[in-house]
Amino acid sequence: MESSDGRQKISKTEPEWLSLLGSHRYRMLCYGNTERPFTGKYWNQHGTDTYRCADCSTQLLSLRTKFDFGTGWPIFSAVLDEKRIERRADPKHGLERVEVVCVRYNGHRAHVSDDRPEPMGERFCINSACHEFESE
């Protein structure tokens, strides 16, 4: 089966994901857990490079769209290609949030909100554990 970006979907069992990812990444990617602020390895990364999905290597975010929102998480104003993500309602913790997942395997990527002042647009708040950094 193909994802909306035209590539093959990835399907693994829970034990396969746990073995591949390790427990920390597994909790982030498969259960949508969130890192504590100022603890992720990329929260203070700057430059012009790219973040890839930690599981399928899809390019998702560019440091060109990263900005400091003062939250302690990497924050971006846009994804590289909307076809590479899916947005879903996330009612966990009694909040009305929008979760962003990878279209290839449904892994948690980020939460997105539109709470930035106009004309700035959206704010993608990511977990470092969900991504790998790729230097250009």
DSSP for 83-116, please give it.
GGEEEEEE-GGG--EEEEEETTT--EEEEEE--S
Question: Would you state the pLDDT for residue 2?
Answer: 65
0.85 surpassed by pTM: no
> Sign of torsion, CA 92 96 97 103?
positive
Question: Would you state the pLDDT for residue 87?
Answer: 93
Question: Would you state the pLDDT for residue 118?
Answer: 64
**What is the maximum alpha-carbon separation in the chain?**
44
- Whether 6 maps to a domain, the answer reads no
Alpha-carbon gap, residue 87 to 66, rounded angstroms? 20
Q: What is the CATH number of the domain that holds 32?
A: 2.170.150.20
Question: Would you state the pLDDT for residue 115?
Answer: 74
Q: List per-block mean pLDDT (blocks of 10 residues) for the chain, which spans 136 residues.
A: 71 88 86 87 83 84 85 88 90 82 85 73 85 78
Range(s) of the domain holding residue 58:
14-134
- Whether 29 maps to a domain, the answer reads yes
Count: domains in the chain:
1
Alpha-carbon gap, residue 62 to 76, rounded angstroms? 8
Question: Would you state the pLDDT for residue 38?
Answer: 92
Q: Which amino acid is present at 16? A: E
- Whether 53 maps to a domain, the answer reads yes
CA 86 to chain centre: 11
Alpha-carbon gap, residue 8 to 6, rounded angstroms? 7
Question: Would you state the pLDDT for residue 30?
Answer: 83
Question: Would you state the pLDDT for residue 131?
Answer: 85
- Whether 5 maps to a domain, the answer reads no
Is 125 one of the annotated active-site residues of the chain?
A: yes
- Whether 92 maps to a domain, the answer reads yes
